[in-house]
Amino acid sequence: MTIAKQLLTKNLKNTYITPKGLADAKAELEFLKNTRRSQIAEIIHQAREYGDLAENSEYDAAMEEQAMVENRIAELENILKNAKVISAPLSQDFVMIGSVVKVEMDDGVDEFTITGRIETDPARKKISNESPLGSALVGAKKGDIVEVVTPNVKYKCKILDIK
């Protein structure tokens, strides 16, 4: 196991996050606790005034929304409790969280940013260090050919550059 993979697997409870991701998570948590909770409470209060709760779809929808918000608050609190902030890659010698990696695959050349799981955004080419491609890349060096194994496909890619 490479040094980079040992560092990343040493404490699996950690949630790796960038400073921007941390700020976004804190802002979302604050909004949910201070604004959205009271909005939903007001909606529930109004829906109760419509009468019979057994056949009140507005009340049911508001209660479902409240449950989703409370679940998200708990998830964000857990993320923040276990957050390990990763600012900039310590090295460009090997791939780690925060690295921008240029890879050559069968269908051409592509560039990905390796992030923690909560900042993943495939549309913006931000992939999790826990994804099949991300975990294959973490710890690899420029010029290495890594094998990526997914449930359906196995393929190889070559690392062209690390920033």
Sorted by sequence, the CB contacts under 8 Å of residue 149 that are 6+ apart come out as: 132, 136
Q: What is the pTM of this model?
A: 0.70
Dump pLDDT digits (tens) for 21-59: 899 999 999 999 999 999 999 999 988 887 777 777 888
Backbone angles phi, psi at 88, to 5 degrees: -115, 150
Dump pLDDT digits (tens) for 67-87: 999 999 999 999 999 999 887
